[in-house]
């Protein structure tokens, strides 16, 4: 599978969000990564439904919604209605993860589970066959622009091994500190969806930065 790029609008200019969504529409980006933070699961608050609805109005690419919130079951239907194509919940936030995953699928969304940097991928052994995607956090969730954690490469290897046995079509997404310097190595290690916030939106040529992540070997 050719890898996908999901620019993260957490790093966009919220006063010019429509402009930034149009930039992604016109770019080589595949999905639009939408980070939802509740100030409880993570120490930061991002934005909620009115903003997601506004993004959806202009987006011509799938919304890849990443829920960094406690008890996400409460809001899955709302995010589906707001236009989510994929919904990612955190392993650490879901005591009844199997039920949560089934619910996301019943809603007609791709079901995805994220693991924090300290959470072993092997804990997904009994759920991976039910998933459309696993998101490997390569920073601690909560903020954009953080430093990439090197142990991520090892975790990508672990999930790739698990997936080749139990779910060969699995999307393996990596999120946090992704840039032109580590993208090729991440894909080589097993990632097939790259989320990128800061490295795209802080670039002078944002579309060019997305193209650079997409066409890794020229």
10/210 with CB nearer ligand DX5: 10
Residues numbered 41-80 forming contacts with ligand DX5, rule: CB under 6 A: 66
User: Residue 145: which of 95, 99, 203 has the closest Cα?
Assistant: 203
Closer of 33 and 155 to ligand DX5 (Cβ): 33
C-alpha span between 140 and 63 (Å, rounded):
22
* Residue among 2, 63, 7, 1 at smallest CA distance from 208: 7
User: How far apart (Å, rounded) are the C-alpha atoms in residues 130 and 15?
Assistant: 39
Between 41 and 164, name the residue whose CB sits nearer to Zn ion.
41
Could you say which of 5, 10, 124, 134 contacts ligand DX5 (CB under 6 A)?
10
Provide, rounded to whole angstroms, the least separation between the CB of residue 4 and ligand DX5: 14
Burial of 214 (0-12, 13-18, 19+ CB in 10 A): middle
Q: Judge whether 81 counts as a catalytic residue.
A: no
Residue 66 bridge partners (DSSP): 35, 88
Count CB neighbours of 43 within 10 A.
11
The least CB distance from residue 170 to ligand DX5, in Å, is 19
Query: Which of Zn ion, ligand DX5, none interacts with 173 (beta carbon under 5 to 8 A by kind)?
Result: none
Under rule CB under 6 A, residue 33 binds ligand DX5: yes
Kind and range of the H or E run holding 137: strand 133-137
Residues 76-115, interacting with ligand DX5 (CB under 6 A): none
- Which of 20, 30, 38, 175 does the annotation list as catalytic? 175
User: Closest by alpha carbon to 174, among 195, 189, 190, 199?
Assistant: 195
For residue 29, state whether it binds ligand DX5 (rule: CB under 6 A). no
- Can you give the binding site for Zn ion, defined by CB under 5 A? 35, 66, 175
Query: Which two tokens mark 110?
Result: 């791709």
Would residue 125 show up in a list of annotated catalytic residues for this protein? no
CB atoms within 10 A of CB 26: 11
- Could you count the other beta carbons within 10 Å of the beta carbon of residue 96? 10
Choose between 52 and 166: whose C-beta lies nearer to Zn ion: 52
Chain residue at closest Cβ approach to Zn ion: 66
186 binds ligand DX5 (CB under 6 A): no
User: Footprint of ligand DX5 on residues 128-147 (CB under 6 A)?
Assistant: 139, 141-146
Of the residues 20, 35, 62, 179, only one is catalytic, namely 35
With CB under 5 to 8 Å by kind, the binding choice for 144 among Zn ion, ligand DX5, none is: ligand DX5
Helix 17-26, helix 206-214: angle, nearest 10: 40
Catalytic residues: 35, 175
């Amino acid at each position: 599978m050719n890898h996908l790029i999901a620019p993260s609008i957490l790093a966009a200019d919220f006063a010019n969000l429509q402009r930034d969504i149009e930039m992604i529409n016109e770019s080589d980006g595949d999905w639009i990564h939408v980070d939802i933070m509740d100030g409880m699961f993570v120490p930061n608050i991002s934005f909620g439904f009115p903003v997601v609805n506004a993004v959806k109005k202009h987006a011509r690419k799938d919304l890849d919604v990443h829920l960094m919130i406690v008890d996400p079951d409460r809001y899955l239907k709302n995010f589906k209605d707001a236009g989510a194509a994929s919904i990612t919940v955190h392993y650490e936030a879901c005591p009844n993860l199997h039920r949560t995953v089934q619910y996301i699928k019943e809603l007609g969304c791709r079901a995805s589970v994220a693991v924090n940097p300290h959470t072993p991928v092997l804990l997904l052994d009994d759920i991976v066959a039910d998933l459309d995607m696993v998101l490997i956090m390569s920073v601690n969730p909560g903020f954009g622009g953080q430093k990439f954690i090197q142990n991520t490469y090892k975790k990508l290897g672990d999930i790739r091994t698990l997936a080749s046995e139990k779910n060969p079509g699995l999307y393996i997404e990596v999120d946090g500190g992704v840039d032109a310097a580590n993208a090729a190595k991440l894909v080589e290690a097993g990632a097939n969806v790259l989320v990128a916030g800061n490295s795209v939106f802080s670039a002078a040529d944002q579309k060019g930065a997305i193209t650079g992540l997409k066409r890794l070997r020229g």
